[in-house]
Amino acid sequence: MSINLPSLGLGSVEYHLRAAKVHGELRQVEFHRVDAETGREVVSREVPKLYRYKLGPNGERQDYREIPYEESKEKVRYDGSDLVSAKNERRFFLKDELETEGKWIEVPPSKVVDKQTEDDEEIQPFERTTKIEVESDGFVPRERVTEFKFKDFYLLSADTDKKVRESPERVRQLARHLLDKQSTLVAFFSLGRGYQYYTAVIFPYERSSDGKMWLLMGLSEGVLQLDEAWSLEAKPEAAEAEPLPIASVRKKKTPKVTISK
């Protein structure tokens, strides 16, 4: 890309540049699924399944029952009042038998567990965050906001619902306090049920033109990981910096994670 800067008086006014995407240090959680009883790896596949049912008095489907594969090979329609329907469903099968021998050996979902690829430890998904817990060490200087790689931003305000009755004034006081202290709050945040977490970065923003203030929450993918190869300054070789801690998912209902600060 090119940037034209005629007003700076730096000789040539057009800069010809190349660009690279900046990443955060957040890593996707890598996991595999296994049969809880045998420890053998399973894979999911979408397969057609047949069900038999009966029609109710108003034409609704009742008494839904899956037709076993062996039976489905012999019958397409059941005698009497039973009818047959088909739909695609995601089911689990033993990986080796399926991929090497072509055998579809199904494993019930209740017996399938997820384990981390890194240490083979069973993991449980995070639930959607409904309460943000800011620990005593979760206060970060506001000047460090630019270090975070943000995925999304949200505007925060008081929940004045009758069941909550939060005061708008209290929220303004919090924003003003953070602004005066030049502080930012960071905490664990899960956007939905799954294995991925974000860092919630909560900070005030005051518009200089009119003094209006907002309380913002950014969902961060962690601290920016800048590639040294793209540095614009030639620096002498230094000892390699200690890498930032990466959160790991453990087998806990309330996972203990490390938040980027």
Claim to verify: residue 257 and residue 185 sit in the same structural domain: yes
In a domain, 178, yes or no: yes
- Condensed to tens digits (0 to 9), the pLDDT of residues 133-183 reads 998 889 999 999 999 999 999 999 999 888 888 889 999 999 999 999 999
Q: Is the pLDDT of residue 241 over 70?
A: no
In a domain, 72, yes or no: no
Claim to verify: residue 106 and residue 156 sit in the same structural domain: no
Task: Give every CB contact of residue 234 below 8 A, 6+ residues apart in sequence.
Answer: none
Claim to verify: residue 161 and residue 216 sit in the same structural domain: yes
Q: Count how many domains the chain has.
A: 2
Q: Which residue, 114, 135, 163, sits at the end of a domain?
A: 114
Claim to verify: residue 161 and residue 105 sit in the same structural domain: no
Q: Is the pLDDT of residue 81 over 70?
A: no
Claim to verify: residue 155 and residue 217 sit in the same structural domain: yes
- Condensed to tens digits (0 to 9), the pLDDT of residues 93-123 reads 999 999 989 888 989 989 999 988 877 888 8
In a domain, 261, yes or no: yes
Q: What are phi and psi of 217, to 5 degrees?
A: -125, 120
- For residue 106, what are the domain limits? 32-52+82-114
Claim to verify: residue 145 and residue 189 sit in the same structural domain: yes
Claim to verify: residue 99 and residue 203 sit in the same structural domain: no
Task: Give every CB contact of residue 141 below 8 A, 6+ residues apart in sequence.
Answer: 182, 183, 184
Read out DSSP for 89-131?
Answer: EEEEEEHHIIIII----EE-GGGEEEEETTT--B--PBPPP-S
Q: Which residue, 91, 114, 137, sits at the end of a domain?
A: 114
**Nearest-angstrom CA–CA distance, 36 and 34:** 6
Share of the chain above pLDDT 90, in %: 34
In a domain, 203, yes or no: yes
**What's the confidence (pLDDT) of residue 254?**
43
Claim to verify: residue 136 and residue 199 sit in the same structural domain: yes
